[in-house]
Structure 1
Amino acid sequence: MLSFIRLRCYHIIRLSTVRYASSKKKHVSSTTPILRHNWLDMTSEIYPTDGSNLSLIPDSSFNIRIIQYLSDSIKTRLSSNISQHLLNSFQTWSPREFYDLINILGSYGLQPIDVLRLLINLPSTDKIIITNENLKQCFENLLTLKFDTTTRSILISNDPNIIQYDLNYLRERLDVLLCYFTKREIYKLIRTHKKLFSENWFDLDYKINYLRIMLFASTRDIVESGALSYTIDHIRQRYLFVYRAGLFKRVRREEEYVLQRDLNINLIDIFNTSLSTFLKRTTNNLLRKDDYQAFIDSLKYETFDNEFQRYLTLDKNRKKIDDEDDNDDETSLTILNDKSLALRNVEDKPTIWHTLSDYNPDRHRRRKIAQNVDPNIRL
């Protein structure tokens, strides 16, 4: 008896000790803060004397030092083509203008990698378009739309054309995107689709509806696949290839999509891969690039006008045919007794299990119904 009490007290003491020790643990947050670049070092490294006395005359040597500073900041050496492209693009810019441009980009939270990407993707280095006022107004518009710092940096560095857009245009594009996606999904789309805000809305809307109607894809799968960053021809060719080859099953209801989603090929493997990787993951290299090219050539003889309407009309016709078949079955049905009718209804009920499989969860119920119909049946 005493040993039992001692054992119980020992467990109680140990339990409280463990709880106290676990409460003292320091939980590290999974979202660690991003280390921001200190742009104040740029002045001391590039222009050690006085940054206010920068020349207003174009100087290629100063531009080379800034480009080299950005390259050293990302710890990656730029290729000769990229360096020459940047020098040619800003050869008419004076040291003061180029320095102010880099400084204002850094003041709004852009990292050196974002600044380099923006300078490379600039469609034009016209000083009338790229001004401090336009940049400030662009960042203020993005702040008004409540984009966070990382999203703003990715958006403006991948698509510098956004500098020329006013607040009304940005708000209108965001509103139409919210008709399809959530705010969180739009943040992910900005990372996968570089021209999300500058692409023609008719083309973008057509791609979204193609994925939603023809593939019955969810918005989450559309975002994760990165398919919207490609053209409609690329999306149609890849999809029709796997569908007509019998590698992708098309569904028409949300319930079917939930079951078939894990059985079909992942959308990211269909759309967001190279041709060799696409054939490897979908056909296990049974089909070659020549086979795929032959299929693409055959699509040139097909017309895809009103393909949504034809697909939906085909769906309605199939429903009418199914309804007519159901009516014929009901008129030809002969009811012998209630038990046989119940047995037939249970057997005709669709199930995900194979008919020859013995792992159907309703197999015991079917045995009982069959025995009620004929007690002499031995199952």
Structure 2
Amino acid sequence: MGYIKDLGEIYLAKNYKRFPVAFVKGKGSRLYDEEGNEYLDFCAGIAVCALGHAHPEVSKAICEQAQKLIHVSNLYWTEPQAKLAQILCEHSFADRVFFANSGAEVVEAALKLARRYAWKNFGPEKHEIIALENSFHGRTFGALSATGQPVYWEGFKPLVPGFRHVLPNDIKALEEAISEKTCAIIFEPIIGEGGVIPLSDEFIKAARELADKYNALLIFDEIQTGIGRTGKLFAYEWTGVTPDVMCLAKGLAGGMPLGALLATEEVMAALEPGTHASTFGGNPVSCAAALVVLNKILEEGFLEEVVLKGKALRQKLLNLADNYGDLVAEVRGQGLMQAMELKVSATPVGEYLFYEKRILITVIKDRVLRFTPPLIIAYREIDALGEALDEALAKIASE
């Protein structure tokens, strides 16, 4: 390692456990460190770089917009922001969009929107929010309070009051938790950081019905599942259920910081001037990048190809699960958001792929290998991952 790591060790906060590598360049599904070593990326910046690294059209849009206008604040209109809001609404259930900088900020906005909508229409007693155990919604106080993993709460209590957590896919628990005080139900259609756990169609439909019955909003956190990750532009399209509010970020701007809160006209009307804001939210450069990302994903055949690549990746994982039944507990996911849960710690597998094969993945919940490659990943690269993963599992099986 060179001077980059040395500088970081001296000056950066120690709240991340980083791998010993400093990347200086990327192209497509490949990353290059300061020594020129090449890595195959099945992480994509944690499901962010939807079109891969340094996509020429995204880079061009960023450079051209930066030469024209970088920031004016949301006191004024800008063309990239208005056009991006239009395309998001035209290709979703939503009528209005609020832009922020990140997923956590958008979740925070969604929670505030839900409470204010309930306050305006039903009164202050309707303020409770139901979320799921094992969920992850972000690290700001509101998003952290919605997050159903106590490990993230340590040292930060008291959290924001009014949150209740139920088990994923437990319809009875949801029925028992909801009441006239409930203003919203929030969940990820596929729980991401909690282990890539898809919610059942039955549970999602029950949530919609219960939200309607109790005049509560249904919020889909699609920060990780949205923008083509599952093979649809948005994961809710697979379910037959339409939310009232949706949170987007990660893949939206191809690596530039951008989050979007989408909602119906009636619901978004609760955010009146002065109720919520973001200084940098929806800045022209990030929005220009996002326009390219969305237009590429919406091109004919792109999402169909994501579905096919997702099936190819999944089949590789299922074949390995059959071959290493003593090690593999389950394969799950959708599209290019796949996971393999092991019966033993997954850390040695992740480390083998990184150190021996220079392949990037993420290990979550100790035993889960998560694969979220760029949506432009090649089939030969999926084959390369399968071969490397086979070697890693064989090594563990022989020990």
TM-score, structure 1 normalization: 0.24
Bigger relative contact order, structure 1 or 2 (CA pairs below 8 A, ≥6 apart): 2
Greater strand proportion: 2
TM-score, structure 2 normalization: 0.23
Q: Give the greater-gyration-radius structure (CA).
A: 1
